[in-house]
Every structure is written in structure tokens, then in C-alpha cells.
Amino acid sequence: MNRKEPSWLKNAVFYQIYPQSFCDSNGDGIGDIQGIISKLDYIKDTGFNAIWLNPIYESPFKDAGYDVSDYYKVAPRYGTNEDLRQLFAEAKKRGIRVILDIVAGHTSTEHEWFKASCKAEKNKYSNYYIWNEDWLDDSDGLNMINGYAERNGNFAINFFSTQPALNYGFADPDPRKKWQLPTDHPDVQAVGEELRKLMEFWLQQGCDGFRVDLAPSLIKKDKGRKAVIQFWQKFRKIFDEKYPEAALIAEWSYAPQALKAGFHIDFMIFCGTSAYTSLFRNEPERDMFQYIPKKVFYEIDGYDYELKNQNSFFDRGGHGDINQFMTTYLRHYQETKENGYIAMVSSNHDMPRINDNRNALDLELIFAFIMTMPGTPFIYYGDEIGMRNIKGLVSVEGGYTRTQARTPMQWDTTANAGFSTAPASKLYLPIDPDEARPNVQSMLADDNSLLNRFKNILKIRKAHESLQADGDFEFIPVTNAANVLAFIRKSANEKLLMLFAPGADGGEFSFKLDTAQTPTAIRAVNMELSCRDGIATCKTSNSGYGIFKI
């Protein structure tokens, strides 16, 4: 590959940590940086070599820290900048990279820039945010808050009312609306400079890169996202020149654009119903976000994402259709494989946990899939032990339905599952009330636990170059069986065959395979494979998967 990129990404396996809920070291009921440091050995032993930390900056926490009031300061509840530097150093000792979350598109209303921007008198920060000139209306399609400040205008927000959009300019400003500044306006360029400065600040403190929140949203009225692509390309140049080992990861959800923009990685999540949802979430009665109505047609940049089969591929019923995912995936993969990686995720802080009514076998298949696809896998803390989605919690810090996936990590069988020594009433969120809730300590002691099976899969990935980010990928269509998935991963020296057949009833399927003898199983669960005359036949007795050497 002729591209420049951090060398460690080829074999990176990310663990996403929601700091509030991971490990509380000082008994105040909220997770913190020292808590994370105390668990680095666990993270390493499990097989991860990279961490993505959700925002840890000072914040009034109206959106769990995605509303930053000081980008240069760790929120006191998590510790100090010194603690964070210690985390970088301790992680490094163990060969673990740490990525921070950069909230580039907006700040908190509590940020000093915004407070200054609210003033009637013109000042350096007046144009740092998007303000119209009329206190009554004229939003031009933006989401605006009226009646907040002394200055005569309304400000645009990106998400909640407490998250004013930073002003990176308009790609296509309306000439009649003077408040829509072009992207080359010096005030707007100053905001871009602030972003560069703060990213460089954290790189110099020792972090290994960033996950950029809402990365494509920065420039307004940007048809086809051309302007924001150029914007990020400039950042990539700085990375290539000054920080070639630092990773740029987008929350963009459209890899062809994100990777063109210079990001090394983008997540395969919200690309309509044919991506993450079609694999893990579609069900006749619900969708991945409870507020997205079913049977939607998405159109993103000319591509239609249509929900055709409402059974997700990895449902235990085994009635899904892998083509729904593959059609989109293959197009994205072909378009991007020379430029970076698509990330498969187990879940994240914005969606229900992957263990939403699943059993260990269901989860094992999903982990094996995530770990054997090209690109970079991301596992959300606790998914590796099968932590459950906890429905019905009252929203905390702007979580709303997302709160269900943000409960404390379950470490052992002591009070508060070992998360914190605080009284239960003081915890950031309650522990899963189920007495049979999984925990790390008990699972480590059981060879057959989900956690140990997960670790085995990671070991297999680590031992086989073809399974890592850059290994070639070849999809094998299985005629007459859309509910199974077959593909080949290949590197210079090896060729592996992957088979996935969710479906508790088991079954049989065949496909063409050009090999003289039956491939040997590296790991086969509920699955038998045999080959004759160029035809492979696979029998399963329950949901099954296999990793075979050809």
C-alpha cells in the first residue's frame, strides 16, 4: 500500500471506554482516569491494543461531556491533566494506544468563547459561533436558539440547546444574509486554527490520535460535503507531516467521504439501514434507534439505502439477508480500501448494547465476525462480557434512550459489581440489577465463558495477518442461502475461509470453493465442512461459525 498512515493501525483492536462508567478509583460514584489506569492490564490481557476514550474535558455535562467548556483541561471528576498524561504513559508501556474524542463542531454554552460571543459589543469571539442578525427568525434551515443572549441575534446549535455550533463557515453562503460567512473569512479561519491548536496540544501530551465527533457537520450549507472534505484534508496534511503515527478517526458514517477527507478510519454505523442495522438490529418490531421509524428509505449522496428484509443477519432466527449489508459494504470497501479502514463496532454509547436479548453463542458469532472483517474493530466496554442493555432508566446527562447502554462496568461479585465503593445511590448510573449479571472475575475463571471465547478469537486474529486490517477480502456469494455468510481473507502467505451461519435450527448450505482438500478448522463452532469436486458443503447444528485454513 502506498499510502501514509500510522503503522499500528494494521493490527489495532480498539476498546471504547465511557469514562463515567468504567472504574471509580476514589469512591465518588463516577469512573475516573486512575480507575482506567488500574484496569490497563485487563485491557491488554483481553487482547486490545488501543483505547478510544469518550470526552474527558471540563464540561457542565449536559450531553455527557460532548459539551466542552475547556478543551485544555481534564474534567476534575476524572482527575487532572497529569493523570491523563500518566494514562498515556502507562498505556504506552503496555503497547496500548489512546485516542481522545474531539468535539470539533460545537462547545458548551459554558465555554468562555461562547460567553464572549454572546456579548452585544463586538469582540474577538463574536463570529466564533453562528449568529444571525435578527432576534426574531431567519434560521435558513439551521437549528437556532432564540432569546438567549444580549446580542441581537440567535445562535445555531448542532445537537442540544446547550451545544452552540462553532463557526467554520458556509460553503454556499446566501449573499443576502451577511451573517453567513464564507469558509475563507478570517474569523472562521480562526476557529479552524483553534481546533488545530487544541489537537496539537493533546498530541504533544502523548495521545495517539482522535475520534472526531460529528466530523462532517462542521461547514454549513455544504452540498456533497465538498468543503468539509477539503477542510479535513488540511488536517491530514498536518498529521502526515508532523504526527505520522497519530490516527484520525471520523464519526462520519460514510467511509467513501470520510476517507477522502483524510480520515484513516470511519465507522460503519449509520449508513442507513443496510449497514450496522441490517447486521445486528433490524427486527420486525424495532430499529436500532428507537426513534427511527421502520421502513425508511435513506438517501445519502445519491445512494439509496432501503430496508428490504427486516430480520437482521445475526438474529438467532436465521432469517436475515447478508446481501442487504454486502451490497453497501462492498461498494464502500472497494472505494476506500486503498485509503484507510472501515470500522466494525459491537455497539457504542449512542445505541443499545449489542447484548439486547442475545445469548453467549449469538454474541460469539458477532464477535468472530467483527474480528475477522477487514479494517479496524471497536468493542464497547462491557460488550466483551455480554453486559446487558438496561431499559427504563431515567436519562442521565442527556443520555435519554442512550442511557440504557451506559451503566457501570461489572468487574466482580463485590458491592456495585466492583465498579465503585460509593453507596449504590451515589453511582453515576445503577448497576445492572440482575443477580445473574456477568462480571469479569467470574468469567476469567471459566474457560468456556464468553469473555474467554472472545479472547480466543482475538488471539486468532493476532496470529493471522490475513485477518487483520489490510488482508484481502473476497465475498463468496452462497446461492440460495442469503442467511449465511462466506468470505475469504488473504495475505501474502495465507488464505483463510470464514463462515457464519446464524440460526438456532441449524441447516446445510453449499458453495463453490476452488480447493483440492477440505480446509482445516482453526476454530469451528457447531459447524462441519467438507469439500468435493470444487463444492464445499457446510452443516450446522445450531448457530455456527468457522475459521478455516485453505
Q: Is residue 28 within the footprint of Ca ion (CB under 5 A)?
A: yes
| Angstrom distance (rounded) from CA 44 to CA 38 | 12
CA 396 remoteness from chain centre? 21
Tell me: does residue 67 bind Ca ion (CB under 5 A).
no
Q: How far apart are CA 524 and CA 446, in angstroms?
A: 20
- Give min distance, CB of 54 to ligand GLC, in A: 8
32 touches, from Ca ion, ligand GLC, none (C-beta below 5 to 8 Å by class) = Ca ion
Q: Closer CB to Ca ion, residue 425 or residue 480? A: 425
Q: How far is the CB of 399 from ligand GLC (least distance, A)?
A: 9
208 binds, among ligand GLC, Ca ion, none (CB under 5 to 8 A by kind): none
Of residues 315 and 397, the one with the C-beta less far from Ca ion: 397
Q: Say whether residue 429 binds Ca ion (CB under 5 A).
A: no
390 binds, among ligand GLC, Ca ion, none (CB under 5 to 8 A by kind): none
Give the C-alpha separation, 407 to 425, whole Å: 13
506 DSSP 8-state letter: -
To ligand GLC, the closest distance from the beta carbon of 437 in angstroms equals: 24
- How would you write 17-37 as a 3-class SS string? ECHHHCCCCCCCCCCCHHHHH
Q: How far is CA 288 from CA 192, 269, 281, 308, 484, in A?
A: 34, 10, 5, 15, 22
Using CB under 5 A as the binding rule, whether residue 266 contacts Ca ion is answered as: no
Can residue 383 be called a binding residue for Ca ion (CB under 5 A)?
Answer: no
CA distances from 547 to 293, 404, 447, 479 (A): 37, 33, 20, 20
Q: Which of 23, 30, 84, 195 binds Ca ion (CB under 5 A)?
A: 30
DSSP 288: S
Residue 5's binding partner out of ligand GLC, Ca ion, none, with CB under 5 to 8 Å set by partner kind: none
Residue 24 CB, nearest approach to Ca ion (Å): 4
61's grid cell:
455535562
d(CA 299, CA 271): 9
Q: Cα-flanking dihedrals φ and ψ of residue 544, to 5°?
A: -145, 160
How near is the Cβ of 159 to ligand GLC at its closest, in Å? 4
With both helix axes pointing from N to C terminus, report the angle between 186-205 and 226-242 in degrees, rounded to the nearest 10: 40
State the nearest-atom distance from the C-beta of 129 to ligand GLC, in Å: 15
Measure CA 337 to chain center: 19
Joined grid coordinates for residue 239: 498529521
Chosen from Ca ion, ligand GLC, none, partner binding at 52 (C-beta under 5 to 8 Å by type)? none
Binding partner of residue 203 among Ca ion, ligand GLC, none, CB under 5 to 8 Å per kind? none
Helices (H), 475-526: none
The C-alpha torsion from 389 through 392 and 398 to 402, rounded to 10°, is: 30
492-531 residues labelled b (16+ CB within 10 A) or e (exposed): eeebbbbbbbbbbeebebbbebeeeebbebeebbbbebeb
Q: Is 138 in the site for Ca ion (CB under 5 A)?
A: no
Q: Does 18 help bind Ca ion (rule: CB under 5 A)?
A: no
Q: How far is the CB of 465 from ligand GLC (least distance, A)?
A: 32
Nearest residue to ligand GLC, by Cβ distance, number only: 66
Question: Among Ca ion, ligand GLC, none, what binds residue 379 when CB lies within 5 to 8 Å by partner kind?
Answer: none
Q: Contact residues for ligand GLC (CB under 6 A)? A: 63, 66, 103, 159, 213-214, 251, 349-350
Q: How far is CA 383 from CA 36, 390, 438, in A?
A: 17, 13, 10
> Quick check: helix, strand or coil at residue 501?
strand
**Residue placing its CB nearer to ligand GLC in the complex, 104 or 366:** 104
Stretch that binds Ca ion, among 30-38, 41-49, 434-442, 455-463 (CB under 5 A): 30-38
SS (H, E, C) 128-182: CECECCCCCCCCCCCCEECCCCCCCCCEEECCCCCCEEECCCECCCCCCCCCCCE
Q: Does 83 bind Ca ion (CB under 5 A)?
A: no
Q: Which is nearer to ligand GLC, 50 or 214 (CB)?
A: 214
Give 349 or 455: the residue with its C-beta nearer to ligand GLC: 349
What 3-state DSSP class applies to 448? coil
CB of 25 to Ca ion, least distance (A): 6
- Confirm or reject binding of residue 24 to Ca ion (CB under 5 A): yes
Q: Which is nearer to ligand GLC, 78 or 411 (CB)?
A: 78
Nearer to ligand GLC among residue 211 and residue 437 (C-beta): 211
Look at residue 269 and give its three-state secondary structure: coil
Stretch that binds Ca ion, among 2-10, 26-34, 242-250, 293-301 (CB under 5 A): 26-34
Residues near Ca ion (CB under 5 A) are 24, 26, 28, 30, 32
